[in-house]
Structure 1
Amino acid sequence: MTSATTMTTALPAEQRAALMRLAREVAFAAGTRLFEEGGRADRFWIVRTGTVALDLRVPGRRPAVIETLGHSELIGWSWHFPPYRWQLGAEATSPVRAYEFDAGSVRALCAEDPAFGRAIACWVGRVVAQRLHASRIRLLDLYAPYGSGSLV
């Protein structure tokens, strides 16, 4: 993930502080499923410590790990866009400590405060673009005859 998509660099200090007022600290043991593809996206997390693998169901195969996320990275973007359903799955690959956010509360603050809403939308949009790129590269590496041909 690029530094432009971590919360600490993507959000201006004022918006970061407003978001963190809505945070609660949580912990997950290694092997815990945070969410499943297609499930209701009603929360999201920012990793404090540990790692979380994002995966994609592939019929007839084990889920393909698309990307592994760590410190300051956003886990989940589907909460921001209707119909609020997870597009990927997520599993803790080590013990994880994270900040958890209620999606409805964050969306309400986005609607209340246009500057906050714009900052969140830009951040989440950059994350979606990066995850789409990572998904494409990973699936090509796994299933295309010659892989992605990318070293990125």
Structure 2
Amino acid sequence: MTLAGAARGPPGPRVSAVGGGAPRFWIARPGRVALDVRVPGRRPAVIETLGFGDLVGCSWLFPPHVWHMGAEAVTPVRAWEFDARAVRDLCRSDPRLGEAVGRWVGLVLAHRLHAARTRLLDLYAPYGSGIPG
């Protein structure tokens, strides 16, 4: 069973698409990846741009294992690519690892939820998010 390997890609290609299966995830090395969400009747809204050390993809951990955000490389990207099923199996077999991975992904999700809320308010609410910056 191979858990991870090196991955690379040029700017432009979609790394993930909303509603698609999430069989893998990445930890970014050099490069930038934009996370976006669909907004009906509009272009996808970029929520956050990820860089070195950031987790690209959280949906792989939770059923039904489908992407909830899209991701697109905005510069050439190198990353560690992980087989989601193999990592989930490893987490089930090692509860301490499973707890640590679950806590890490949970913190990432909480941050992304806040970032999404703030960004969408900035884009579409009459007075923005109210958060300076």
TM-score normalised by length of structure 2:
0.97
Structure 1: stretches of 5+ with no match in the other structure: 1-20
Q: Does 1:28 align with 2:9?
A: yes
RMSD, aligned α-carbons: 1.0
Aligned partner of 1:81 in structure 2 is 62
Secondary structure (helix, strand or coil) at the match of 2:118 reads helix
**What do the CA deviations read for 1:106-140 (whole angstroms, capped 9, x no partner)?**
00000000111011000000000000000000000
Q: Does 1:106 align with 2:91?
A: no
Task: Count residues in correspondence.
Answer: 132
Aligned partner of 1:122 in structure 2 is 103
Aligned partner of 1:55 in structure 2 is 36
Question: What letter corresponds to residue 149 of structure 1 in structure 2?
Answer: G
Structure 2: stretches of 5+ with no match in the other structure: none
**What do the CA deviations read for 1:14-60 (whole angstroms, capped 9, x no partner)?**
xxxxxxx8220000100010010111011100001100000011111
- In 1, Cα distance between the equivalents of 2:115 and 2:39? 16
Q: Does 1:46 align with 2:21?
A: no
- In 1, Cα distance between the equivalents of 2:105 and 2:99? 10
Q: Which runs of 4+ in 1 moved over 4 A?
A: none
TM-score normalised by length of structure 1:
0.85
